[in-house]
């Protein structure tokens, strides 16, 4: 029987909950202009401009104030401290890029973190007791938060702020609450004016905040308008709230866009004893015409609200993909009040939890009651009116939960229409009024996912086979298809061919020449040749050479216009001409999007990066959970960090395919199940991204077990008899990620040791070898481009996880040396031959993409001279010529998995389409900021 949610319709008594107030008074800034270049600022992102910007502000303030101008260009800086009557104005094309070195935010200043006053690293943009200040213009403020977010998992200082024995509870004197060290690990806020009057933020974009983005504290007459906040969602970034007015009075937030990793717009009023003592509520708040794209809460109040929040009106806002759309959260022990709240005209889509949540149980669960000792400081939540809310999909419609003896009081819900998967919760309410509250049931929570975005031109150019027939052959019991995809065999003709057929497509006009595509589903190390013929006449159309079938690898055969027309009419037959076992290809089923199914495709339009990303950010890029998949996961993670929604969803989908809590259900590179096993050294790469997203995930033990299993005692490296270039990427890099996220010094030292031994054993003045054998001293595969890519990419990514001052000088120098070396041997088309310095060989698109990605990342992280960045951009342009219209990257050298003739394969003209090459290209495109 179909489950139904009851529509709740009750009588409402009109009530007034919000008192209009005069809009905030804008700052008065003198008509004066000071250019930071006139005080020694240098663009380019290499030289620190903190002093020059400070001098410009000081000079402007001495003259009575005015506009301090940041012209177009990249300007690296540390903390910027305001003076009264200063407008920091970013012209179009200007980027203030904030340093990733914590020392550039010292000495500690008075700040607020988590509702408690402390001395800490300076906020990036800081003002204390200033009047008439503003940040305006059309530029970008880039917090480069990637180096700060891992502190969440290793910041003991936060327990002194938010733990049970915190500073406020112990009434520790303010002068003793001093942080500002890496050991304490308390991240600074991006922009924090404290005790300021007449503050304006308008027109600018904030990106990648280290923690909370905009947190004015104890300010009056605050205006934030036409500004954008872009932080990756949780868990890609941590605690990156968007706009958090804290104990402020007369606040206007309008026409802002917030896409962030925690609460989007969150009204606060301090925490516990500090807030009770200050007694400054947050009041008179108007929020209107804002667009919230992701985050925990959309329009949110709490949980730090101990001095009270009152008189708020939010209207005409949208929330898309947030955990909740409207959220009031508090808990016993906070004290204070939340009252006189009007929220109306809200449109919500794809809400991951409750569309409307009002709760006294923040941080608790339904099974875990609140601590009884906190019941003497229970907040009061009352006089709440929420009306005119539309939500197309949510997991839960309403979550209204007071406390027994401390109910939510006088809550009115009017004219709500919500589609939800779960029944609503109403608990401990006093005077709940509901009028025209209509709740529609959803059959499945899958609708909450962002649908795949397939470009229309790609969809119309693809004809997936409608009918697929294949002989009945027993699948080899020792193997398992990647991601448990459905498969069909392509077997010798005497066994019976596989047949593909297409139904007539109404409205299709002139037939164009198309290519047949099939995708390997299982590792197969014996060469095959797939004969393709007309299914009705037997006319032979050609053969697909398969030297090695790697799961996810795409094989193509171009057909003429006449062959295409006949194939659509009669179908195609596929049979294996040689090979002791069938070639298994992907068939329709789970984890198999259209892009990997047998199909005809017309590649007759120019490629675009967007088409590539639409394909890449899907299950089509899935690879075996080893070195191939880390190439893909890094590309997905890079684009997820840039805010791309399909990348954020896909990186979790990929990890969920292989890794479940406590288990690892995956296949190795030979398609053998290796569930709950550590695997070989090549298999640890994907754990880098798992550690970044879920540092406490139980499956990380497999990486630890793998490191221990393959530890070479004499050298302290991973790999019993060899060291290979890919160990930089597949071992040192995940080791360092795990070390950074979990605060593990042992893994940090091992990772650096891996890099140092690789540098010592694999490099020569003008050469780099893939492999070194410890027992014989033999070195093999000199200057193989993909080996160079792994060596260089692993080196740069591992060092980038360290603060600049903690990167070993010898390894930073090596990053610069390799950059100069690869640039010297780049081909005129921007690519690299399969073996560097052998320019008569064809390029390898995967090796070229990896080398260029490492170059671009090295520049971004200050390890490589910026003058070499054009070499990476040139490689990008060259690689785009290998791209198909729908986003597959051709030209990848075959994987070295045949038992013999490795060198012959690499030196041949044989090239394939492989998702791992696409992953390396995605990393390059992200690093170039396309």
Q: Which residues are catalytic?
A: 262, 296
- How remote is the C-alpha of 691 from its chain's centroid? 13
Coil, strand, or helix at residue 150?
helix
Q: Is 373 exposed, middle or buried (0-12, 13-18, 19+ CB in 10 A)?
A: exposed
Give 804's DSSP letter.
G
Q: Which of 296, 145, 302 lies closest to 213 in space, CA to CA?
A: 145
Give 577's DSSP letter.
S
- For the chain, how many residues are written? 930
DSSP 731-758: IIHHHHHHHHHHT-HHHHHHHHHHHHHH
Give 659's DSSP letter.
E
Sign of the CA dihedral with 366 first, then 369, 370, and 376 last: positive
Long-range contacts of 441-444, Cβ-Cβ distance < 8 Å, separation of 24 or more: 441/2, 441/3, 441/4, 441/5, 442/393, 443/2
Instruction: Give CA–CA dist 656/84, Å, rounded.
Output: 52
Helix count (H) and strand count (E) of the chain?
20, 50
Q: Which of 265, 455, 557, 439 lies closest to 887 in space, CA to CA?
A: 455
Residue with tokens 């007369």: 250
Structure tokens at 29: 């800034």
Q: Which of 556, 645, 660, 656 lies closest to 600 in space, CA to CA?
A: 556
Structure tokens at 852: 């260029």
Taking a C-beta distance cutoff of 8 angstroms, is the pair 886, 458 a contact?
A: yes
Taking a C-beta distance cutoff of 8 angstroms, is the pair 267, 305 a contact?
A: yes
Q: How many CB atoms lie within 10 A of CB 28?
A: 10
Instruction: Give CA–CA dist 622/614, Å, rounded.
Output: 14
Widest CA span in the chain:
92
């Amino acid at each position: 029987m179909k489950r139904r949610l009851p529509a709740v319709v009750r009588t409402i008594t009109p009530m007034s909950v919000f008192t209009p107030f005069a809009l905030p008074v804008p700052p008065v800034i003198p008509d004066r202009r000071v250019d930071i270049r006139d005080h020694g600022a240098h663009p380019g992102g290499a030289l620190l401009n903190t002093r020059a910007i400070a001098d410009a502000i000081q000079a402007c303030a001495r003259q009575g104030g005015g506009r301090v101008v940041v012209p177009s260009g990249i300007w690296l800086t540390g903390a910027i401290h305001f003076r009264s009557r200063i407008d920091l104005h970013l012209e179009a094309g200007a980027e203030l890029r904030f340093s990733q070195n914590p020392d550039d935010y010292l000495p500690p200043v008075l700040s607020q973190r988590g509702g408690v006053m402390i001395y800490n690293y300076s906020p990036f943009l800081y003002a204390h007791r200033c009047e008439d200040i503003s940040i305006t213009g059309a530029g970008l403020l880039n917090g480069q938060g990637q180096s700060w977010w891992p502190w969440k998992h290793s910041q003991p200082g936060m327990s002194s702020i938010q733990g049970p024995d915190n500073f406020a509870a112990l009434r520790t004197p303010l002068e003793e609450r001093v942080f500002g060290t890496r050991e304490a690990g308390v991240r600074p806020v991006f922009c924090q004016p404290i005790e300021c009057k007449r503050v304006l933020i308008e027109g600018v974009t904030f990106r990648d905040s280290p923690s909370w983005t905009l947190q004015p504290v104890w300010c009056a007459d605050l205006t934030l308008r036409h500004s954008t906040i872009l932080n990756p969602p949780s868990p890609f970034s941590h605690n990156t709230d968007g706009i958090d007015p804290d104990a402020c009075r007369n606040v206007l937030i309008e026409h802002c866009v917030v896409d962030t990793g925690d609460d989007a717009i969150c009204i606060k009023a301090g925490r516990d004893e500090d807030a009770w003592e200050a007694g400054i509520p947050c009041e008179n708040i108007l929020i209107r015409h804002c667009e919230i794209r992701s985050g925990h809460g959309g329009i949110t109040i709490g949980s730090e609200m101990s001095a009270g929040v009152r008189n708020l009106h939010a209207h005409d806002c949208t929330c898309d993909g947030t955990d909740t759309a409207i959220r009031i959260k508090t808990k016993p022990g906070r004290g204070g009040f939340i009252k006189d709240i009007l929220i109306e005209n809200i449109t919500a889509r794809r809400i991951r939890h409750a569309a409307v949540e009002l709760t006294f149980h923040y941080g608790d669960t339904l099974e875990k009651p609140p601590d009884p000792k906190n019941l003497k400081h229970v907040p009061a939540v009352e006089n709440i009116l929420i009306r005119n809310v539309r939500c197309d999909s949510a997991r839960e419609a309403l979550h209204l939960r007071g406390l027994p003896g401390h109910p939510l009081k006088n809550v009115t819900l009017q004219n709500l229409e919500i589609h939800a998967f779960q029944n609503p919760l109403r608990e401990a309410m006093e005077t709940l009024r509901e009028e025209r509250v209509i709740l529609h049931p959803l059959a499945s929570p899958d609708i909450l996912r962002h649908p795949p975005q397939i470009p229309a031109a790609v969809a119309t150019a693809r004809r997936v086979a409608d009918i697929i027939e294949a002989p009945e052959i027993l699948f080899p019991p020792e193997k398992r298809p990647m991601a448990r995809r459905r498969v069909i065999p392509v077997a010798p003709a005497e066994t019976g061919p596989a047949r593909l057929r297409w139904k007539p497509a109404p409205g299709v006009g002139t037939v164009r020449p198309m290519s047949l595509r099939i995708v390997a589903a299982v590792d197969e190390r014996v060469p095959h040749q797939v004969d393709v013929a007309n299914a009705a006449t037997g006319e032979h159309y050609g053969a697909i050479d398969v030297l090695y079938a790697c799961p996810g690898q795409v094989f193509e055969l171009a057909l003429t216009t006449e062959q295409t027309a006949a194939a659509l009419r009669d179908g195609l037959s596929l049979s294996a001409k040689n090979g002791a076992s069938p070639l298994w290809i992907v068939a329709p089923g789970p984890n198999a999007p259209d892009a990997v199914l047998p199909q005809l495709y017309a590649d007759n339009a120019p490629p675009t990066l967007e088409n590539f990303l639409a394909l890449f950010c899907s299950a089509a890029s899935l690879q075996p959970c080893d070195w191939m998949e880390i190439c893909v996961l890094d590309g997905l993670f890079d684009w997820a960090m840039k805010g791309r929604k399909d990348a954020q969803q896909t990186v979790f989908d990929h990890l969920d395919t292989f890794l479940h809590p406590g288990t690892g259900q995956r296949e190795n590179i030979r398609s053998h199940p290796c569930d709950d096993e550590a695997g070989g050294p090549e298999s640890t790469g994907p754990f880098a991204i798992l550690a970044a997203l879920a540092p406490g995930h139980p499956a990380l033990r497999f990486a630890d077990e793998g490191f221990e299993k393959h530890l070479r005692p004499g050298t302290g490296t991973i790999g019993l008899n060899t060291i290979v270039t890919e160990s930089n990427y597949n071992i040192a890099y995940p080791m360092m990620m795990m070390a950074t996220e979990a605060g593990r010094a042992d893994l940090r030292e091992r990772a650096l040791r891996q890099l140092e031994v690789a540098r010592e054993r694999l490099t020569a003045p003008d050469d780099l070898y893939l492999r070194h054998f410890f027992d014989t001293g033999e070195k093999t595969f000199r200057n193989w481009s993909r080996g160079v890519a792994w060596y260089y990419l692993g080196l740069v990514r591992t060092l980038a996880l360290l603060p600049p001052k903690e990167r070993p000088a010898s390894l930073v120098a090596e990053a610069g040396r390799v950059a100069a070396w690869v640039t010297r041997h780049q081909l005129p088309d921007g690519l690299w031959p399969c073996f560097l310095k052998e320019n008569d060989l064809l390029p390898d698109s995967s090796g070229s993409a990896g080398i260029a990605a490492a170059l671009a990342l090295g520049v971004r992280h200050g390890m490589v001279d910026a003058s070499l960045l054009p070499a990476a951009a040139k490689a990008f342009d060259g690689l785009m010529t290998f791209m198909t219209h729908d986003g597959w990257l051709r030209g990848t050298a075959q994987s070295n998995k045949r038992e013999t003739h490795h060198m012959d394969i690499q030196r041949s003209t044989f090239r394939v389409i492989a998702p791992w090459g696409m992953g390396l290209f995605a990393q390059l495109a992200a690093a170039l900021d396309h």
